């Protein structure tokens, strides 16, 4: 489940966005001023930020600038007022990934959110090196210590699904849905079996994993070294 942080001081706007995003199965956090939003973004590291530019305490452009200065590469969708062309240009130059002009159509915003998350997912998992593991999702190859690791197709999809979450916990049900696509017909124990096989192939000591950790009664987390 992707986590969206909304930084918006209008209660009505924030409530409307939160309600509709949650209806689309996103996890949503709301911050009502720039300082709180920046803190949440850096501490929680959401999958995407919806950022209003007119905020109390710290304006949206300053929030965006601080995020990029600190190295945060979280996708940012900025909300701008109609006619504020300079804000759009400045926001994009500072590192915003897209913008929506108020008033906007809800379906357009949802489509842009989905597109940004999909783009970020592809970038995250397409090529990754962590510790002694190298993953190339596009080529569907995995190496450990420079040597090829042979993974079954489901094992590779499971690994990519975990890596995409950037250290966040992923439930067994989410993994079933993402990898098998029909969670109702596959037992969660199937996930455990495939994780055990991934650990055997990727971990130096599968009983004391460095990368794939069990979160009791919930699911699994892939830790980037």
Beta bridge partners of 76: 49
Average pLDDT, the chain: 87
- Same topology, domains 3-124 and 131-222? Answer is no
From CA 155, how far away is CA 112, in angstroms rounded?
Answer: 30
pLDDT number for residue 83: 66
> At residue 125, does pLDDT exceed 70?
no
Which of these CATH numbers, 1.10.10.10, 2.40.110.10, 3.40.190.10, 3.10.20.600, describes 131-222?
Answer: 1.10.10.10
pLDDT number for residue 183: 47
Indicate the Cα dihedral angle 93, 96, 102, 106, nearest 10°.
150
Cβ atoms of residues 155 and 194 within 8 Å:
yes
Mutual angle of helices 106-126 and 11-23, in 10-degree steps: 60
What average pLDDT does this structure show over 91-112? 88
Give the residue, 104 or 58, on which the prediction is more confident: 58
Buried-exposed string 94-116: b where 16+ CB fall within 10 A, e elsewhere: bbbbbbbbeeeeeeebbebbeeb
pLDDT digits (tens, 9 = 90+) for 184-195: 556 778 899 999
CATH number listed for the domain at residues 3-124: 3.40.50.2300
From CA 31, how far away is CA 41, in angstroms rounded?
Answer: 9
Helices (H) and strands (E) in the chain, counts: 8, 12
Task: Find the helix or strand (DSSP H, E) in which 213 lies.
Answer: strand 212-215
From CA 170, how far away is CA 180, in angstroms rounded?
Answer: 14
Confidence of residue 182 (pLDDT cuts 50, 70, 90): low
In the chain, what are the domain boundaries?
3-124, 131-222
Cβ atoms of residues 97 and 73 within 8 Å:
no
SS3 219: strand
From CA 223, how far away is CA 162, in angstroms rounded?
Answer: 9
pLDDT number for residue 51: 95
The pTM of this model reads 0.59
Range with top average pLDDT, 10-19, 107-116, 124-133: 10-19
What average pLDDT does this structure show over 7-33? 93
Cβ atoms of residues 220 and 170 within 8 Å:
yes
pLDDT number for residue 200: 95
User: First-to-last CA distance in the chain?
Assistant: 23
* H helix runs in the chain, sequence order: 11-23, 34-44, 60-69, 85-94, 106-126, 153-163, 172-175, 189-202
> At residue 142, does pLDDT exceed 70?
yes
């Amino acid at each position: 489940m992707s986590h969206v942080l909304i930084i918006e001081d209008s209660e009505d706007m924030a409530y409307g966005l939160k309600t509709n995003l949650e209806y689309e199965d996103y996890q949503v956090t709301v911050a009502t001023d720039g300082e709180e939003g920046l803190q949440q973004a850096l501490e929680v590291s959401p999958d995407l930020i919806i950022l209003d530019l007119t905020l109390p305490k710290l304006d949206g452009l300053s929030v965006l600038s601080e995020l990029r200065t600190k190295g945060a590469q979280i996708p940012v969708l900025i909300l701008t007022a109609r006619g504020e062309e300079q804000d759009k240009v400045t926001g994009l130059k500072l590192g915003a990934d897209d913008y929506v002009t108020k008033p906007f159509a809800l379906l357009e915003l949802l489509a842009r959110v989905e597109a940004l998350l999909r783009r970020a997912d592809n970038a995250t998992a397409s090529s990754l090196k962590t510790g002694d593991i190298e993953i190339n999702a596009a080529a569907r190859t995995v190496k450990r210590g420079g040597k090829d690791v042979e993974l079954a197709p489901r094992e590779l999809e499971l690994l990519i699904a975990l890596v995409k979450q950037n250290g966040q916990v992923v439930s067994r049900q989410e993994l079933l849905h993402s990898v098998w696509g029909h969670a109702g017909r596959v037992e969660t124990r199937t996930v455990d079996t495939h994780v055990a096989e991934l650990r055997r192939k990727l971990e130096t000591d599968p009983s004391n994993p460095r990368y794939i950790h069990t979160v009791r009664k919930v699911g699994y987390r892939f830790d980037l070294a």
